[in-house]
Structure 1
Amino acid sequence: MIELKNLTKVYGSKSRATTALSGLNLTVDKGEIFGVIGHSGAGKSTLIRCINLLERPTGGEVWVGGRNLTSLGKRELQLERRRIGMIFQHFNLLSSATVYDNIAFPLRLAGTDRTKLKSKVEELLSLVGLEAHSGKYPSQLSGGQKQRVGIARALASDPDVLLCDEATSALDPQTTDSILKLLLDINRKLGLTILLITHEMHVIQSICDRVAVIHEGGIVEQGPVAEVFLKPKHEVTKEFISRDVAGGDAPEVRIAGAAASSGRQAAETAALPYTGGAVFRITCLGENTYGTALSEVVLSTGVHFAILQGTVSTIKEVPYSQLTVSFTGAKEAVELAVAKLRERDFDVEVLG
């Protein structure tokens, strides 16, 4: 659906040239939610603006829906842009226009007749949950409501692709979660391809199917979110995960997913002492996350264990756990415990 081929963007020239993107290659499949994460200055915003050619690349090609946008003339490009919606960090709403008129704005530009325009705006108001706010002005709305208007406006032309430029970074955590849920619902209801950029791993973890990590203008790691999230390879990826998810304060056990499942809102944390023994990282993705397999294996083999650090949470509504565990006992018993865990589809990595 989206394919970037050897994408390059250079600002300035000669001795004052700054390379924002350097030979970047990326593919986003139709209907998926793809996240790009990176620090400020890594090239995220330049990347997303190159996709709809708000920034024209210095080199390379941008393909959307089978068409090479970088080869199109001005008129053809304008038509193709209607298939690409975009929402922004700071909403970019018309302050003197009502919610209704903000959503109707691109339809009026396209010459949509009044009856069809009214029907479409009402449909979008319902989709984003703003039916009761259609006559209000942006100054009367909360940040989350403003972003819902921005989403509805971006969907007015029935795009195939929705680009999200740090769409939740100006919002508080609770509002962020509600916007992410809305984007996930839109993706499922409309089959819309969504590409979002962010500096928050929580955003990636919540709704994305795949993720790419951008650093110094290039992609340093990419893949399915669970794979990148649970087995990061690049130091930048590890830094994001440590900061945004694990908190970077080991040894610690974070039971966010378990706490939520038992009705508690806050994550429950507890530090456990290291008692010696072989150390393993045990990862589980799916229904076994909340099961008793670990305790059953330990009891059946006579091995003692201590959880040194761990997380229980979800990746796009799929539960997972990742625990750093110390096993003590006879060598044969520890090896048997590891073998039994692997038989039950746990990924067990020897750390020391």
Structure 2
Amino acid sequence: MIELKRLTKQYGKAGTLTTALSELNLSIEKGEIFGVIGHSGAGKSTLIRCINLLERPTSGEVWVNGVNLTGLGNKQLQGERRKIGMIFQHFNLLSSATVFDNIAFPLRLIKTPKSEIERKVSELLALVGLEAHRNKFPSQLSGGQKQRVGIARALASDPEVLLCDEATSALDPQTTDSILRLLLDINQHFNLTIVLITHEMHVIQSICDRVAVIHQGGIVEQGPVTEVFLKPKHEVTREFIRNETDSGEALRLAIHAPHTESSRAAKITFLGSKTYESTLSQTVRETGVAFAILQGTISTIKHTPYGQLIVRFEGDKPAIDLTIQKLQEQGLDVEVMD
């Protein structure tokens, strides 16, 4: 659906060039919600703006639905851009236009008949829950309502792709969750491909299918969110997850908790239905090992439940080793924290 090939974006003049993206490759499948996470300055905003060529790459190719956008002339590019909607961090609404007129704006640009505009905008107002606000101006709306107008406007031209540029970072947590639920509903209802950039792991964890971690203009890690979140490989990814879960503090407590030579700390990860099974307690009954829970959490990654426990096993070393082996044989991920 979307393929970025050796994408490079530089700013400035020869001798003083700043490289925002460097030889970046990325593939996004049709119908998925794909997240890109990175710190400020990592290149994520440049990346998403290169997808619809609001930023033209210095080199490389941008393919969307089988079309190489970087090889098109301006007129052809305008036509392809209508298939790509975009919502922004600061809403970018027309302050002097009503909610209705903001949503109708892209339809009027392509000279859509008035009756069709009325039908389409009314449907979108219902979709985003703003029927009662159609004649209000942006200054009369909350931040969440403004973003809902932005989403409706982005959907007005029936796009195949929706780009979200830090779409929730200006919102409070409760409003963020409501916008994420709306995006998830839109994805499922229209089978719309959504590319979402953020610096918040919570956003990725809530609705994304896959994620790429961007750092210094390159992708350092990518994969299914469950895999990247639960088994991060790059230090930048681990930092995002520590900030989200406070697992760094739990690790410190595990290392410094009172222990003996016959004890061992481990992080156990449960995924899917195993999250709610009594695997740990049944296993230690079989092996005769005692354990203390130092930290624990249960949450979800999109629709998938997961649990993580940091425990200290106590008993004979062979019995502890057998316990870890049995847990792994039953499909649990066990990381010994020596």
Same structural fold, with TM-score higher than 0.5 when normalized by the shorter chain: yes
Q: Which amino acid aligns with 2:329?
A: E
Q: Which residue of structure 1 aligns with residue 332 of structure 2? A: 346
Counterparts of 1:98 and 1:249, CA distance in 2: 49
Aligned residue for 2:249, secondary structure, equals: coil
Aligned residue for 1:241, secondary structure, equals: helix
Aligned residue for 2:244, secondary structure, equals: helix
What is the CA distance between 1:105 and its match in structure 2?
0.6
Q: Which amino acid aligns with 2:4?
A: L
The answer to whether the 8 A contact 1:274-1:326 is kept is no
Change (3 A) 1:138 1:214: same
Q: Which residue of structure 1 aligns with residue 71 of structure 2? A: 71
Q: Which amino acid aligns with 2:185?
A: D
What is the CA distance between 1:333 and its match in structure 2?
2.1
1:292 and 2:278 are equivalent in the alignment: yes
Please give the TM-score of this superposition, normalised by the length of structure 2: 0.96
1:129 and 2:147 are equivalent in the alignment: no
Counterparts of 1:82 and 1:335, CA distance in 2: 59
What is the CA distance between 1:151 and its match in structure 2?
0.2
Counterparts of 1:216 and 1:224, CA distance in 2: 22
The answer to whether the 8 A contact 2:250-2:310 is kept is no
Q: 1:1-352 maps to which residues of 2 (within 5 A)? A: 1-246=1-246, 248-250=248-250, 273-276=257-260, 277-352=263-338
What is the CA distance between 1:317 and its match in structure 2?
2.3
Deviations 1:302-325 (A, max 9, x none): 111122333321100211012222
Q: Percent of aligned pairs with the same residue?
A: 71
Aligned residue for 2:112, secondary structure, equals: coil
Between 67-76 and 272-281, the greater mean CA deviation after superposition: 272-281
What is the CA distance between 1:343 and its match in structure 2?
3.0
Q: Which amino acid aligns with 1:344?
A: Q
Aligned residue for 2:46, secondary structure, equals: helix
Q: Which amino acid aligns with 2:280?
A: L
Counterparts of 2:115 and 2:318, CA distance in 1: 76
Counterparts of 2:252 and 2:178, CA distance in 1: 28
Aligned residue for 1:312, secondary structure, equals: strand
Deviations 1:13-66 (A, max 9, x none): 222110000000000000000000001001011111111000100000000000
How many residues are matched? 336
Aligned residue for 2:268, secondary structure, equals: strand
Q: Which residue of structure 2 aligns with residue 262 of structure 1? A: none
Q: Which amino acid aligns with 2:130?
A: L
Please give the TM-score of this superposition, normalised by the length of structure 1: 0.92
Q: Which structure 1 segments of 5+ residues have no match?
A: 254-271
The answer to whether the 8 A contact 1:246-1:311 is kept is no
Counterparts of 2:87 and 2:285, CA distance in 1: 53
Aligned residue for 1:250, secondary structure, equals: helix
